[in-house]
Amino acid sequence: MKRLGSNNRYEDSYQILLANREDELETKIGTGPPKMPLILDGIAVVVGKHVLLGNKTNTDLIGGRYFNKCYPVIVGGKLNSSFDTPQDNDGHGTHILSTDGGNSIANTSGFGGLLWSGQVKIQDLLMVLSLTLLHDRSQLEPAPWLWSFLAKLSSTTIKKMRGLQLPLSQTQRIRLQRAFEKLQSLSSKANSDASVTVADTIPVNYEDAFLKGHGTTDLNGELVATVCGVVERINKLVYVRGLRARYKPEVGDIVVGRVVEVAQKRWRLEINFSQDAVLMLSSMNMPDGIQRRRTALDELNMRGIFEENDVVCAEVRNFQHDGSLQLQARSQKYGKLEKGQLLIVDPYLVKKSKSHFHHLEHFGIDLILGRNGFIWVGEHVETRDSMAVDQANSSEQSMVLEEKNQTHTPLEMRQNICRTANAVRVLSTLGFSMDADLIMETVELSSSLKIDIHDMLGSEFHVLVAEREAERRSLMGKRRR
């Protein structure tokens, strides 16, 4: 391992590492000026005369590093000293203003204004690009080529990301490709599903009046995307939906959330939004069903209703003035969810529909599609009549619960729950919108083909589901005509 700083040349380094673990990019990216070593995911490739970085040093470089100007870059050893280390005091890497599908990540600093850091919520970022350019200061070229290079880099990554993370055999790959092409051709809006990366021009008819939405900006008279994602058009509004965007709530949405905190007269729920949503004690029905003022005793017994880590179903009531969300759970169908499993998918896959609560009678299970991407699959629970819970009876209640603990879900219902959950997982991997009918069809497909529950997560079933969906949509299209 050579020391690049050994001849005392001070070098600028901007580091962009690929944190999305797509490999094989080194074969695809040959663009950009020479003398630029690429570090992809800890695998270094030498370009020009620069150093080959082996595994050990790369492990320090992953996650993004910050090289201050005017300090020699030491490669080949553990980077620990605060001057020579590429880390800042918090152990974060390259500090740049960060974007998270349009939201901002706290605790990052703007330095150099080059790219993303994404240490805090790294899983929300599309990718953290960390590319070390180690070269002489004199050879540092201005940023524009870097932008175009990065745009190309990100576009290849996006294309890879859209590919499934499944090992597909050759025939399976071809079949899947065909199914997707068919679906694309059937899509009524022709160009609207164009995926774009940062700095791509959005195809728009400039004569028509259109509104520039999120993720777009006007650059030199052209409409250019500022995030990586998919172009969506609604009437005259053109915006770019980030691929890993957070949930965007609307009043009246049904959401499923997890309690993170029991605070004064309210619960805080995590719902895949930029802030935690608030469920006021007064927005919750009391267990005894009586409409009354919440007393101090009620406040002390909040944990008896919802505890930390409980899964709760509620409805969006309104937005507070500071942008946070308020929920209400006044109806019997809302409340704590037990005896099942929670699945997390991308929020944009759950579209607004008439009903988000589905009781699949045939299987005896409940399916709740939260618009924030949390989907609950569990045993069917009859909407409870108000139970009388006195303080004196609370011990009795806990006894009843203990007895309930002994009785597990019956095997057949559990199998149905697992099948439905796997169907949701398959649809989410394929990127199809979640719809109760679609989920049911997928489950029926799997049981009719006698596919083992676990094999539903295999590549063959994914291909089958994609083909089936393509067929179904083409049939629907024909019926319309």
Partner 1 sequence: MVGLSVGEKHFIQGGIAQDLRSDGRKRLTYRPIYVETGVIPQAHGSERVRLGATDVIASVKAELGKPSALQPDKGKIAIYVDCSPTAAPMFEVVFALAGRGGEELSTELSLALQRCLLGGKSGAGAGIDPASLVVVEGKVCWDLYIDGLVISSEGICSMPLPLLLSNTGIPKVDVEAETKGDDQPEVSISDEEFLQFDTSGIPVVVTITKVGRHYIVDATSEEESQMCSAVSISVNRKGHICGVTKRGGAGLDPSIILDMISVAKHASEQLINKLASEIAAAEASEEES
Interface positions with partner 1 (CB under 8 A) = 19, 21, 23, 41-44, 52, 54-56, 58-59, 62-63, 90-91, 119, 122, 165, 167, 258, 307-311, 336-342, 378, 405, 408-409, 411, 414-415, 418-419, 421-422, 425, 452-454, 456-458
The distance of closest approach from Cβ of residue 43 to partner 1 in the complex, given in angstroms and rounded to an integer, is 5
The distance of closest approach from Cβ of residue 54 to partner 1 in the complex, given in angstroms and rounded to an integer, is 7
Q: Could you tell me if 202 and 225 are in contact, meaning their C-beta atoms sit under 8 angstroms apart?
A: yes
Q: String of b and e for 283-300 (b: at least 16 CB within 10 Å)?
A: bbbbbeeeeeeeeeebee
Q: Could you tell me if 313 and 335 are in contact, meaning their C-beta atoms sit under 8 angstroms apart?
A: yes
* Cβ closest to partner 1, residue 215 vs residue 340: 340
DSSP three-state, residue 49: coil
Q: How far apart are CA 285 and CA 308, in angstroms?
A: 18
The distance of closest approach from Cβ of residue 44 to partner 1 in the complex, given in angstroms and rounded to an integer, is 8
**Angle between helix 459-480 and helix 436-448 axes, rounded to 10 deg:** 120
| Number of helices and strands in the chain (H, E) | 10, 20
Q: How far apart are CA 194 and CA 161, in angstroms?
A: 15
* Cβ closest to partner 1, residue 122 vs residue 438: 122
What residues contact 51, with CB distance under 8 A and at least 6 apart? 1, 2, 4, 37, 44, 75, 76, 134
* Cβ closest to partner 1, residue 223 vs residue 421: 421
* Cβ closest to partner 1, residue 58 vs residue 474: 58
* Cβ closest to partner 1, residue 181 vs residue 308: 308
Torsion sign over Cα 417, 422, 428, 432: negative
* Cβ closest to partner 1, residue 299 vs residue 338: 338
The distance of closest approach from Cβ of residue 425 to partner 1 in the complex, given in angstroms and rounded to an integer, is 7
Q: How far apart are CA 42 and CA 22, in angstroms?
A: 11
* Cβ closest to partner 1, residue 125 vs residue 470: 125
The distance of closest approach from Cβ of residue 309 to partner 1 in the complex, given in angstroms and rounded to an integer, is 4
The distance of closest approach from Cβ of residue 245 to partner 1 in the complex, given in angstroms and rounded to an integer, is 20
* Cβ closest to partner 1, residue 236 vs residue 303: 303
* Cβ closest to partner 1, residue 19 vs residue 350: 19
The distance of closest approach from Cβ of residue 163 to partner 1 in the complex, given in angstroms and rounded to an integer, is 13
Going across the sheet that includes 374-379, the strands are 340-344, 374-379, 365-369, 357-360
252 to 152, 258, 316, 325: CA distances (angstroms): 41, 18, 5, 11
DSSP three-state, residue 319: strand
Q: How far apart are the first and last CA of the chain?
A: 67
The distance of closest approach from Cβ of residue 113 to partner 1 in the complex, given in angstroms and rounded to an integer, is 23
What residues contact 58, with CB distance under 8 A and at least 6 apart? 39, 42, 43, 44
The distance of closest approach from Cβ of residue 213 to partner 1 in the complex, given in angstroms and rounded to an integer, is 32
The distance of closest approach from Cβ of residue 164 to partner 1 in the complex, given in angstroms and rounded to an integer, is 11
The distance of closest approach from Cβ of residue 312 to partner 1 in the complex, given in angstroms and rounded to an integer, is 9
* Cβ closest to partner 1, residue 237 vs residue 457: 457
289 to 189, 280, 281, 285, 455: CA distances (angstroms): 49, 16, 13, 6, 45
Distance of CA 423 to the CA centre of its chain: 18
What residues contact 306, with CB distance under 8 A and at least 6 apart? 259, 262, 267, 279, 312, 336
HSE-CB for 338 with a 13 A CA cutoff: 12
DSSP three-state, residue 269: strand
User: Residue 5 gets which letter from DSSP?
Assistant: G
* Cβ closest to partner 1, residue 208 vs residue 452: 452
The distance of closest approach from Cβ of residue 413 to partner 1 in the complex, given in angstroms and rounded to an integer, is 11
* Cβ closest to partner 1, residue 385 vs residue 452: 452
Q: Could you tell me if 249 and 316 are in contact, meaning their C-beta atoms sit under 8 angstroms apart?
A: yes
